[in-house]
Every structure is written in C-alpha cells, then in structure tokens.
C-alpha cells in the first residue's frame, strides 16, 4: 500500500463528517483551530446537519462529501470532524475509483474505522488512525498527540511509534512480527464480519481499541473475531486504549482475554499503545507495513510512496 503525499504547510484541508454531526458553534471552533495551524479549510455542508439525532445527514450526502473532497484537486488532506455512528451506512456510496485516482491524506478513528478498512483494502491507500478536529484538537491537543500527528503525516522513509512519557509499552506475549497494519475500533471491526466489507487479517498486524464497554462485551467481541478465524490469521496484535472500559476484577483485563483467545498461536501481543479514545492520541498509519518487536519494545512503520 502507498502512503499519500506529505502534508505541507498551508495545505487546504477538507473537513468532513462521515458519521455524526457537531453543533454550528463547534464547526466554527474547528475551523478556527485548523486556520490557527496555518491551514486553509474547505468545509462539508453537513457538519452540523442531523438525521435521526445521530448522523450528519443521509448516506448520499455524507459519502458525497468524501467523494468530492478526494476528487477536488485543491484539497490535499481530509480530516474527520468526529466519529459517532452511521459510518458503515455510507460504504456503498463511496466512489472507490475516484479515491484510487486521487490518493490523499485521510484521518479519523472510532466509527471511521469502517472507512479505513475500505480505503486500505480496496484502494491500496494508507490512511491515518489519528486525532479528529472536534474530538481532539479544540480543547486539548497535547504535545505528544500533536507531534505524532505531524510526524506521521510528513514522514519520509519510516515512522516510529514514540512511546509517550508515562505510557510504557506492555508485553503480553513475546515475539517479532511484520505485516500491514489493520484494525481500529473493536465494535466496528466486528460489525464488518459477514459483509462485503469484512476485515482481512491474513498476515497482518491487528490493532484494536475501544471505549465504554464492559469486560463481558469486550470478551464477546474478541471471541467473535476468534470464531471468525480473524485472530489465527494475524501475524501480531497491538492493543490500544480501552477508555472507560469496565472490568469486574482488576486482575482480569482485556489483555487476559486476548491472550486466552490466542492461546497456542505464535502471535506476539503488545499493549498500552496510546491510540484510541483518550489522550495522548498517537497517530497510526493504517495499511502501512508495520514491524513490532517485543524484545526491542518497538513499533516501526515503513513509508512507501
């Protein structure tokens, strides 16, 4: 898969809402934040539109703006304003040929996971599981998140995951693995199973994050991946943030669930990767070739354009 062109200073950014909307006031705050960074901004007209109370307009509108921004030669990068709900409803309306012909930076996470899978698997495009404008940049764009964001989007030959201070990588199972990075939000990944947009994990490194789930639901989702054959196909697993996810006992965690679900498989597992629904939010290039090494406690991405 190919990295898009590097983000340049003063670039024109397309601000999109493929899932849920924000308020009109928030839209203006998001624009101001990007302009303060020196960017020019083109905004979709559905950023503050609500359908059903949880989607930023209908499927044709939300997908249409993604298509327009990829087709627009002036737009150099597309940043999602937030995640939310309804992203999987627009997949049938995405113009894959336009995206293949106009590969560019695309950033988001959470419900945007379904679009990462689509663009990685169908368009051979590296996308970025990284900060969203309303969710991560308006009130709190911490230095670790900001540094990683710009480092990932301007990388030359390689992009190393730099461990934020106080968030050491953990080792669940030792080993070294290499493969294209796939994954994202656990609930959205499971929702892809059995569809024409199903996640492919064969020979890949699987990244997983989640928010606000009980350990029982996390367990159910992980074993859905296991029962679908998705875990045994992976070359390695990276566990991100599990923000506000409850457990019945502190002694039994998502790490235990994953290790049990992959017992007997030669799959290295690393955890405490700071990417997901919390701060710092470190950008990960989805679709890029990734090397994870528990001996070195390192995660390294190759940049190929």
The set of catalytic residues is: 110, 209, 277
CA dihedral sign of residues 146, 83, 66, 273: positive
Q: Note whether 113 and 84 are within 8 A (CB).
A: no
What would the two tokens of residue 95 be? 């113009």
**Beta strand extents in 44-104 (DSSP E only):** 77-80
* Region for residue 20 given its phi and psi (left: phi exceeds 0; alpha: psi -120 to 50; beta: otherwise): beta
Alpha carbon separation from 148 to 161, 198, 220, 272, 277 (Å, rounded): 8, 29, 32, 16, 16
Two structure tokens written together for 34: 């990007």
């Amino acid at each position: 898969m190919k990295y898009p062109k590097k983000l340049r200073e003063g670039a024109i950014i397309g601000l999109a809402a493929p899932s849920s909307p924000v308020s009109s006031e928030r839209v203006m705050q998001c624009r101001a934040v990007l302009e303060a960074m020196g960017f020019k901004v083109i905004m979709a007209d559905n950023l503050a539109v609500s359908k059903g109370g949880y989607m930023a307009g209908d499927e044709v509108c939300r997908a249409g703006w993604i298509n327009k921004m990829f087709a627009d030669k002036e737009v150099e990068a597309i940043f999602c304003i937030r995640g939310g709900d309804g992203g999987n409803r627009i997949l049938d309306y995405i113009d894959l040929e336009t995206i293949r012909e106009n590969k560019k930076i695309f950033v988001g996470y959470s419900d945007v996971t379904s679009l990462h899978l689509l663009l990685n698997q169908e368009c051979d495009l590296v996308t970025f599981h990284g900060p969203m404008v309303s969710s991560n940049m308006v009130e709190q764009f911490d230095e670790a998140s900001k540094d990683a964001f710009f480092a990932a989007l301007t990388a030359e030959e390689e992009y190393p995951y730099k461990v934020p201070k106080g968030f050491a990588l953990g080792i669940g199972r030792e080993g070294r693995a290499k493969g294209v990075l796939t994954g994202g939000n656990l609930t959205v990944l499971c929702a892809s199973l059995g569809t024409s947009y199903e996640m492919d994990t064969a020979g890949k490194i699987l990244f997983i994050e989640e928010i606000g789930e009980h350990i029982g639901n996390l367990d159910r989702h992980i074993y859905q991946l296991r029962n679908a054959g998705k875990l045994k196909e992976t070359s390695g697993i990276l566990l991100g943030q599990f923000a506000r996810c409850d457990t019945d006992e502190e002694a039994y965690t998502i790490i235990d669930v994953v290790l049990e679900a992959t017992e007997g498989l030669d799959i290295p597992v690393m955890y405490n990767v700071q990417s997901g629904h919390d701060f710092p939010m470190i950008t990960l290039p989805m679709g890029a070739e990734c090397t994870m090494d528990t001996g070195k406690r390192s995660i390294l991405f190759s940049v190929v354009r």
